[in-house]
Amino acid sequence: MRYLYFPGCSLKGTGRAYEESLLAVFGALGVELQEIDDWNCCGATAYMSVDETKSYALAGRNLALAEREDLDVIAPCSACYLVLNKTQKGLAEHPELHRKVVKALKAGGLDYKGTVRVRHPLDVLVNDVGLDKIAALIKNPMKGHRFATYYGCQIVRPYATFDDQDDPMTMEKLLKAAGAECVSYPLKTRCCGGSLTGTLPEVGLRLAYILIKEAKKRGAEAIVTVCPLCQFNLDGTQGQIAKKYERVDLPIVYFTQILGLAMGISASELGLTRGIIPAQAVLAGR
């Protein structure tokens, strides 16, 4: 199994642990990831507010680069996953935009056809690799560990392709395969406010606080997430939350880190040392 890999800026920066754990887990599963040659920033949500056409062109360049190989693209970052998919759809639906973007890409020597499939690691793990194969590699099940699964916004919304929009369950399936328990967590798709924490701290903090507090109340020892921005936001703001509201101290980890632990990969290899809130509870018993 081989895929193209679009890490995005976050996985090279604050979300480094996501990349480390993702590569480790996929490597253990024998899935090859080939990084897209000279990819650029997808534009994320911010650039859409500046220039729609350029925003599509930015993502378009990545898609055009990906089309040179006949492989599906894996985009682990929620924002990248959404933007790349949104671009495919937007260009297919708006002929005028399509014309402009294709022409501009041509000027840069790039050819966009709109043929590539952009997928999320959750989708690939459950639907391509399969839970059976994953279960077979679980050496050190996460028995007795309870997590709150947190999907955030941009994975199942607005295009629910591999899971339900209101109540996604893919992560639960994976964590169950890893031997862990999942608490009922009705906030699993509620926005964490990550894109606002830097600009409107009072707003972002409250959203993050609500999410963490509720997960704790429901008996989770950590929040398991799929998004580098959510992880950064929920992990990095706990200091300020302690000042403004109360001490919460809940580790925020990536689902790939939990899978990796259960597969017997070391904590440092999985970037589990990179959390600002230490992940001791998660590491208990190993």
Partner 1 sequence: MALEQTIKYEAERDRDFARWVMDQSGGDNLRHCIQCGICSATCPLSLYMDYTPRRLINLAREGFKQEVLSSFTIWLCASCYACRVECPKKIQVTDIMYALKRRAIQDGVYPRRFPIPVLAREFGRMIFLFGRVSETLLVIDLFLRTSWFKFLSMTGLGMDLLRTGRMSFLPERIQRRAELRQVLDALDAEEKKEASR
Partner 2 sequence: MEHPQEKNGRPRIGFYICHCGSNIASMIDVAEVQQYIAALPGVKVSRDYKYMCSDPGQEMIAQDIREHKLERLVVAACSPNLHEETFRKAAVKGGLNAFYFQMVNIREHAAWVHTDRRSATEKTKDLARAAVYRVHFHKALEKRQVPVSPEVLVVGGGIAGIHAALTLANAGKKVTLVEREATIGGHMAMFDKTFPTLDCAACILTPKMSAVKSHPNITLWTYSEVVQVEGYVGNYKVTVKRKPRYIKEDLCVGCMECIDACVFKEPKFSDKFNQGLGKRKPIYIDFPQATPKVVLIDPQTCIQFKTGKCKKTCVESCDREAIDFAQKEEMRELQVGAIVLATGFKTFDAKREPHYGYGRYPGVFTALEIERLVNASGPTAGEVVGRDGKHPRAVGIIHCVGSRDEKTNKWCSRVCCMYSLKLAHLIQEHSGAEVYNFYIDMRAPGKAYEEFYDKLLAEGVHFVRGRVAEVTDWAMTPEEEGRLVLRVEDTLAGFVRRIPVDMVVLSTGLEPQADAQAVRRCFNIGCGSEGFFQERHPKLAPVNTFTDGIFIAGACQAPKDIPDTVAQAGAAAAEALVLIDSGHVELEPNTSYVVEEECSGCKSCVPLCPYTAISFDGEKKKAMINEVLCKGCGVCVAACPSGSIRQNLFDDDEIFSEIEGVMAK
* Residue 214 contacts which entry, partner 1, partner 2, none (Cβ below 5-8 A, type-dependent): partner 2
Site string for partner 1, 62-91 (x = CB under 8 A): ----------------------------x-
Total number of residues that touch partner 2 (CB under 8 A): 7
Nearer to partner 1, 41 or 135 (CB): 41
Specify burial of residue 281 (Cβ count, 10 A radius: 0-12, 13-18, 19+).
Answer: middle
* Residue 133 contacts which entry, partner 2, partner 1, none (Cβ below 5-8 A, type-dependent): none
If binding is defined by CB under 8 A, does position 250 make contact with partner 1? no
The pair of structure tokens assigned to 14 is: 């604050």
**CA dihedral angle for residue 229, residue 231, residue 235, residue 236, rounded to 10 degrees:** -20
Nearer to partner 2, 118 or 192 (CB): 192
Any idea what DSSP says for residue 36?
P
If binding is defined by CB under 8 A, does position 51 make contact with partner 1? yes
Nearer to partner 1, 157 or 176 (CB): 157
Residues 133, 166 contacting (CB under 8 angstroms) = no
To the nearest whole angstrom, how small is the minimum distance from the Cβ of residue 69 to partner 2?
36
Could you tell me the maximum CA-CA distance found in the chain, to the nearest angstrom?
58
* Residue 167 contacts which entry, partner 2, partner 1, none (Cβ below 5-8 A, type-dependent): partner 2
If binding is defined by CB under 8 A, does position 207 make contact with partner 2? no
Beta strands 32-35 and 73-74: pairing type? unpaired
Of the candidates 130, 155, 177, 116, the one whose C-alpha atom is nearest the C-alpha of residue 1 is 130
Nearer to partner 1, 98 or 146 (CB): 98
If binding is defined by CB under 8 A, does position 187 make contact with partner 2? yes
Bridge partners for 150 per DSSP: 225
Interacting span for partner 1 (CB under 8 A) from 6-14, 125-133, 143-151, 246-254: 6-14
For Cα atoms 11, 77, 42, give the angle at the middle one, nearest 5 degrees.
Answer: 90
